[in-house]
Amino acid sequence: MSDIQNQLEQLRRQIDEHNYRYYVEDAPSIPDAEYDRLLRELQALEEAHPDLVTPESPTQRVGARPASAFGEVAHEVPMLSLGNAMTPDEFQAFAERVEKGLGRAAAWCCEPKLDGLAVSLLYENGVLVRGATRGDGSTGEDITQNVRTVRAIPLKLRGDFPARLEVRGEVFMSKSGFEAMNQKALETGDKLFANPRNAAAGSLRQLDSRITAKRPLAFYAYGLGVVEGAALPASQFGRLQWLKTLGLPVSQEVQQRTSLAEVEAYHAQLLAKRNDLDFDIDGAVIKVDAVADQDELGFVSRAPRWAIAWKYPAQEELTVLEDVEFQVGRTGAITPVAKLKPVFVGGVTVSNATLHNADEIARLGVKIGDTVIIRRAGDVIPQVVSVVEERRPLDARDIQFPARCPVCGAHVERETLKTHLKTRVIEREGTAYRCSGRLTCSAQLKQALIHFASRKALDIEGLGDVVVEKLVDAGLVASPVDIFTLSREAILGLEGFAELSTDKLRAAILRSKATPFARVLYGLGIPEVGEETAKLVAAKMGNVDNIRLAPLELLTSIPDVGREVAFHISEFFVEANNWRVVDGLRSQGLNFGEPDAKVALAPLSFADFINKLDIVGVGPGAAEKAAARFESLEQLIKTAEDEQDLFNALGGTKAAAKGLFSFFADAANRDHALEIERRLLALEVHWTSERELVEEGGLPLSGQTFVITGTLSVLSRDEAKAHLEALGAKVAGSVSKNTDVLVAGEKAGSKLAKAESLGVAVWDDNALMAFLREQGVTDAQ
C-alpha cells in the first residue's frame, strides 16, 4: 500500500471512530474543531487523489448511524447542510459569489448559529404530530416522544396556522440549565456532561422520554420544510416573524441587514455578546433574505448557495498537559494549575488552565503527558474538560499533591468541611488542600494585602500586586496594619520608587483611612463575605464590636447571611490574630463603625430563639408552643429539669418534651443558650416577652391596659400604640371593665360611649401627647 493510501485509511478509521462516539454514544472524545480538521484533511487528500475515494469514506455521507431503537423518518423536503466560513476572507468569497450570481447586492437575514441539534417538527391542523432529527438530511430518527417534552416546543399552534407545517430549528440546552443540571449530577454522583451541546444531544436521544422531560431543553426555529395551505412571507426574516405568530420561538438575535458592511458588524457584535447569551453559539448563520433570490441561487450538492455558517473561534481545543504547578491563594488553598502546550482557543492563546483541586484531578483521571480538551468560554478561566485516553503516552505521570507549601514550606493540610447545624458543626474531609502557614506564608499574606488594598475595599491607589510583592519581600509589611506605619524612607528605598511616587502612595494610604466601615469589613477578607454581604452586615450591626459580640443566631437574622457565612464571621473574630489586626487598624484610625451604634435588627422572638437552638423534636411549631408557655429561658431551663413537668407544661407533646429535656440536661447546652441570651441582651435585641418580665413594675405603664380610638392629630394610632407598649402598657382593641385608659381622638364613636358608661378614664389627644413628652418620647413634640 502506498503512503497516501495508508494515510487515507488511518484518517477514515479515526473519523469513523469519532463518528460512532459522537452520534451513537453521545460521548465524543475530541472537540468538534479537531473533528472538523480531520474531515477537512481527508477531504483535501481525497481531492488531490480522486481515484482513491471509496464509497465508504466518511466524506461520502453526512451524519452517521442512527441509534437502532428509534423509528426512521424520511424528510419530505431534504434538510440541507450549511457551508462554513472560518475567516473574514472566506465569508467575503461567499458574499461575492452570491452577489455575482444575482447580479446585484442582496439583503441579508442574520441569525446566531445555535450549538444544538437540528430537528424537524411537523404540525398537522395545528397539532404537533411528529418530531425528527436531521439525521443525514434525507432520513432522520423519530423523536416525537422526546420533543413533546421540550416546553419551548408548542404542542398546538396558535393564530392562523396552515393545514400542514414543518418547522425546522435547533434544540439546545441553555447555559444556566446546563450548569444547574451538572451541579445536581455532581451532588447525586451522576454522569457529568462536558458541555451544553452534548447534554442536549444526550437528552434528545434518550429512549426513555421521561428522562428527556427532566432536562432543561429549549428550542429556536430557523426555517421551514413542507408547508401546505398558507401564503408565506417573501423573506426569511418575514417567515421567522410569521412563525412567532404561530407560537414558535425565534431567537431575539435574528436581524435583517441591508449591506455587507452591516453583516460584518452583526457578526462582530454577536461575537462580543457571545458570553452574555444564555446559550452556546458557534457562529452566525448569514442567509440571503429574499426567498426569490434564494431560489435563483439554488444549491450545490446538499448545501444552499444562499446561506453560510460564519464561525467563531472554537471554544474547545486539544493540547498536551506538560506539567502541573501549585499556587497558593488568599485563603491558603493550594490550587493545581495545568501547564499546557500553548493552544489557540476561544480567540486567545492559552497555556494555563485551572485544575481546581485534587477531586477534580481524580474525576478527570488526568496525568502529566496526557492530551486534554481545553475549553475557554469568554473571560472564564480556561478549563480542562476531559482527557483523550487513547492518546496517553507510555511515560505519563501521576499528579502528586505537594506535602509542603511550595511558597513557605509549611505543611499542607486537607481542608475540613463544616456542615452548620444550628448548634453543632459536623466536620468532614473537604476537597481542598491548604497551606497551614496563614499570614506567615508570604503567598497568603500577599493575596490578603492585595485584597485589602483593592478598589472595592480600601482602594489604595498604587498598592497593587507588584508593590505588595516588593513590600512583603523586603520584610516591610507583615500585616495590613503595617501599611499605615510605613515610613517615607522605607518606601523610597524600594526599587521603582522616587520622591513623587512615594508621596503619592503615602497620600493614598492616608486617604484610605476614611474608607466607610462596610468596605473595611469587606477588605478583611472574611471567607464568604463579599462586598454586598459586608454592606448588609455593617448596616445591620453598626460596628465591629457588635459583630464580635453577636451570636450566630443573630447574624443569621441579617438578610443574605446563612449559617455558613455567619459561621465564617464568628470564627474570624474569635481568632486572636485577626482581632489583633482589627485592633491595630482601629488604632490607626480606620473606620470600624460608630462606637455606640445599635444593632438595627428586630429583636429575636423567644420562639425564634428556641427554634434556632436546633433541638431534636422541636420544630417551629413546638418552639412557638414552648415560647407561649414559658416566660423566660430561665423558666424553661428550670422546668426542663423534670421531663414530666415539661411534658405537662407543653400540653402533651412528647417529642418536644423529650428533645428539650435531653438538650437542657447537658450543661454545655444550658451555658450555650444562656450565653446567647446574655449577648442578645447586651446588644438589645432580646425577645420582648423576656424583656417585659425583666422590666415588670419598672415601666411606667406596666400592668395597664389602654385602648386607642378615633383620629389622633400628631401620631398615627400605630405609633401611639408602639409608644405606649414601649412604656409597658398593653394596648387592647376593645373597651371593657379591665380597660384603664381610653385614648380618644377626633371622631371617636361607640368606644368613647362605652368607656364613659363603664367609668373608664378618657384621654384626649393633648393629654396623650403631654404624657408621652413627660416620659421623654422625643417624636411627641
Q: Which residues bind ligand D41 (CB under 6 A)?
A: 80-82, 111, 113-114, 118, 134, 170, 222-223, 285, 287, 304, 307
Distance of closest approach, residue 115 Cβ to ligand D41, in angstroms: 7
Q: Give residues with Cβ within 8 angstroms of 140, minimum separation 6.
A: 66, 72, 73, 75, 79, 120, 132, 133, 134
Nearest by Cα to 773 from 717, 715, 729:
715
762: cell is 378618657
Distance of closest approach, residue 379 Cβ to ligand D41, in angstroms: 24
Distance of closest approach, residue 80 Cβ to ligand D41, in angstroms: 4
Distance of closest approach, residue 170 Cβ to ligand D41, in angstroms: 4
Instruction: Give 686: exposed, middle or buried? Use CB within 10 Å, 0-12, 13-18, 19+.
Output: buried
For ligand D41, the closer of residues 313 and 402 by Cβ is 313
Distance of closest approach, residue 74 Cβ to ligand D41, in angstroms: 17
For ligand D41, the closer of residues 294 and 515 by Cβ is 294
Q: Give residues with Cβ within 8 angstroms of 546, minimum separation 6.
A: 593, 597, 599, 683
Nearest by Cα to 153 from 198, 200, 116, 121:
121
**551 close to 679: Cβ distance less than 8 angstroms:** yes
**Alpha helical stretches, state H, 410-530:** 442-453, 465-473, 488-492, 499-511, 517-523
Rounded to whole angstroms, how far apart are CA atoms 62 and 107? 30
Strand partners, 324: 338
Amino acid at position 740, single letter? D
For ligand D41, the closer of residues 39 and 699 by Cβ is 39
Give the angle 634-637-642 at the CA atoms, nearest 5°: 140
- Half-sphere exposure (Cβ direction) of 478: Cα atoms closer than 13 Å: 5
For ligand D41, the closer of residues 82 and 637 by Cβ is 82
For ligand D41, the closer of residues 80 and 640 by Cβ is 80
For ligand D41, the closer of residues 304 and 347 by Cβ is 304
**700 close to 774: Cβ distance less than 8 angstroms:** no
Distance of closest approach, residue 78 Cβ to ligand D41, in angstroms: 10
Q: Give residues with Cβ within 8 angstroms of 594, minimum separation 6.
A: 542, 543
Reduced to 3 states, what is the DSSP secondary structure of residue 167? Answer: strand
Residue 129's CB is within 10 A of a number of other CB atoms, namely: 12
For ligand D41, the closer of residues 80 and 338 by Cβ is 80
**Alpha helical stretches, state H, 599-642:** 606-612, 620-629, 633-639
For ligand D41, the closer of residues 33 and 307 by Cβ is 307
Q: Give residues with Cβ within 8 angstroms of 213, minimum separation 6.
A: 149
Q: Which of 100, 113, 625, 751 is catalytic?
A: 113
Distance of closest approach, residue 166 Cβ to ligand D41, in angstroms: 12
Residue 443's CB is within 10 A of a number of other CB atoms, namely: 20
Distance of closest approach, residue 321 Cβ to ligand D41, in angstroms: 32
- Half-sphere exposure (Cβ direction) of 40: Cα atoms closer than 13 Å: 10
113 is catalytic: yes
Catalytically annotated residues: 113
